[in-house]
């Protein structure tokens, strides 16, 4: 039986449950986008627990199989995973690659595209290899795998265009003469026509140091603990706008502090969040309790970058 929600908003609801069990109650082909960041396979235990590197794939595959069942053929599954090191050795774990291979080979997803989240504010770690012995550099990139059932799943990069660079603005004004690049690419007049913005790349740059966000402020005011592993609002914002339309449904089965639900609400997508821990589930409600931020959410459009104005 589906539990009662911990709280509801105009567009969504947050449930406290084991998402594997919860998703089994959802009908097939009913969700447009799953965007999530599960616990990573770190070699140390985070407070909310995580499968170790060897067991990680076996742990995640049943969740992914349910996700594949519940998303529509036009839908997407966006999975954020951080990299990891082998315990006690300056050697990388391959768990994220093994996970990706299993999601394609065992579960049957297609890899639509891999993205990389560049977080310039990430702390140098492990300190032993990076700061003390200086034999590795900062690991500042996390992986985001965009998986689909159908290779022609819904997506429209015109919804996530970025402002043109100054150089490109000059070219649009001046126009270009037809030239052939050394690579063989032909540059002609249409290259410099104004198409509303530049097409983003698969590198998403944003920090995760949202010390001023209202969620953190409220948590501190109330003496609640801030969730230790939030992703920045820019991650769900980018994929929700890229892969869905207003009114579509978004689900995060590892909701944590419910960044995904909060962004989905602002973008007028129906959302469902599932978080196994009672404290995280109920404290995530704080995100929705800032009048000022909610007024701007109600006005509809997001100001970018989201993580600089608070989640
Ligand atoms: C990396 S955090 C997600 C953080 C989230 N993206 C945010 O921005 O706050 C992973 C979350 O998954 C939760 N979790 C772990 N196993 C779960 C399960 N079986 N069902 C639901 N939630 C689970 C953990 O308690 C943790 O809060």
Residues 109 and 246 in one domain: yes
**180 and 256 co-located in one domain:** no
Same domain? 186 vs 208: no
Cα of 281 from ligand 1 centre, angstroms: 9
Please state, in angstroms and rounded to a whole number, the distance separating the CA atoms of residues 91 and 78: 27
Report which ligand 1 atom has the smallest distance to the Cα of 63.
Answer: 19
- Total domains in the chain come to 2
Final residue of a domain: which of 197, 222, 252?
Answer: 197
Query: What's the whole-model pTM score?
Result: 0.89
Sign of the alpha-carbon dihedral angle for 242, 244, 247, 249: negative
**Among residues 181, 197, 213, which one ends one of the domains?**
197
Among 139, 174, 197, residue at a domain's last position: 197
Alpha carbon of 81 to ligand 1 centroid (Å): 12
Ligand 1 center to residue 254 CA distance, Å? 4
Q: What is the pLDDT of residue 293?
A: 53
**50 and 11 together in one domain:** yes
Residue among 101, 122, 98 at smallest CA distance from 111: 101
Task: Provide the token pair at 76.
Answer: 């997407």
Residues 270 and 299 in one domain: yes
Please indicate whether residue 230, judged by its CB atom, sits closer than 6 Å to ligand 1. Answer: yes
Confirm whether 230 is domain-assigned: yes
Tell me, yes or no, whether 24 and 142 share the same domain.
yes
Q: Are residues 125 and 184 in the same domain?
A: no
- pLDDT the model gives residue 194: 87
Q: How far apart are CA 266 and CA 99, in angstroms?
A: 31
Residue at 1 is within a domain: no
| 2 within some domain | no
What are the pLDDT tens digits along the chain (311 aa)?
788 999 999 999 999 999 999 999 999 999 999 999 998 766 445 555 566 777 899 999 999 999 999 999 999 999 999 998 888 899 999 999 999 999 999 999 999 999 999 999 888 889 999 999 999 999 999 999 999 999 999 999 999 999 998 988 888 888 888 888 888 888 877 777 888 899 999 999 988 766 557 778 777 887 877 888 889 999 999 999 999 999 999 999 999 999 999 999 999 999 999 999 999 999 999 888 864 554 554 444 443 333 333 33
- Please indicate, yes or no, whether residues 59 and 87 belong to a single structural domain of this protein: yes
* Alpha carbon distance 103, 47 (integer Å): 26
The verdict on 192 and 203 lying in the same domain is no
Shared-domain flag, residues 152 and 44: yes
Give me the domain span that covers residue 193: 163-197
Question: How far apart are the CA of 161 and the centre of ligand 1, in A?
Answer: 30
**Same domain flag for 173 and 261:** no
Report the CATH number that the domain containing residue 119 is assigned in CATH.
3.40.50.150
Q: 155 lies in a domain?
A: yes
Out of 276, 284, 288, 311, give the residue to mutate to test ligand 1, the one with the largest number of ligand atoms within 8 Å of its CB. 276
With respect to residue 233, please indicate whether it lies within any of the assigned structural domains.
Answer: yes
Query: Residue 107: inside a domain, yes or no?
Result: yes
User: Does 299 fall in a domain?
Assistant: yes
The pairing of beta strand 71-81 with beta strand 31-36: parallel
137 plus 33 within the same structural domain: yes
Cβ(122) – ligand 1 distance below 6 Å: no
DSSP letter at 196 equals S
Q: Is 219 among the domain residues?
A: yes
């Amino acid at each position: 039986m589906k539990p009662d929600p911990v709280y509801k908003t105009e567009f969504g609801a947050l449930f406290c449950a084991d998402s594997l069990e919860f998703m089994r109650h959802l009908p097939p082909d009913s969700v447009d986008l799953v965007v999530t960041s599960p616990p990573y396979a770190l070699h140390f235990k985070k407070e909310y627990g995580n499968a170790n590197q060897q067991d990680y794939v076996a742990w995640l595959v049943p969740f992914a199989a349910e996700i594949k069942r519940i998303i529509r053929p036009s839908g997407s599954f966006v999975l954020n995973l951080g990299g990891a090191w082998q315990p006690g050795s300056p050697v990388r774990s391959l768990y994220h690659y093994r996970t990706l291979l299993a999601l394609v080979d065992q579960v049957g997803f297609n890899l639509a595209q891999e993205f990389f989240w560049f977080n310039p504010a990430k702390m140098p770690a492990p300190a032993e290899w990076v700061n003390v012995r200086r034999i590795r550099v900062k690991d500042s990139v996390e992986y985001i795998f965009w998986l689909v059932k159908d290779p022609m799943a819904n997506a429209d990069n015109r919804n996530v265009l970025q402002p043109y660079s100054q150089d490109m603005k000059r070219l649009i004004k001046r126009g270009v003469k037809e030239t052939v690049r050394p690579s063989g690419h032909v540059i002609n007049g249409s290259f410099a026509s104004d198409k509303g913005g530049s097409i983003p790349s698969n590198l998403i740059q944003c920090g995760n140091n949202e010390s001023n966000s209202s969620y953190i402020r409220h948590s501190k005011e109330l003496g609640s603990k801030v969730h230790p592993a939030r992703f920045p609002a820019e991650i769900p914002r980018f994929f929700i706008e890229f892969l869905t339309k207003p009114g579509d449904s978004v689900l995060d089965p590892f909701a944590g502090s419910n960044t995904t639900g909060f962004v989905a609400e602002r973008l007028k997508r129906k959302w469902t969040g599932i978080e196994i821990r009672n404290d995280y589930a109920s404290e995530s409600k704080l995100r929705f309790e800032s009048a000022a931020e909610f007024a701007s959410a109600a006005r509809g459009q997001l100001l970018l970058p989201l993580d600089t104005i608070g989640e």
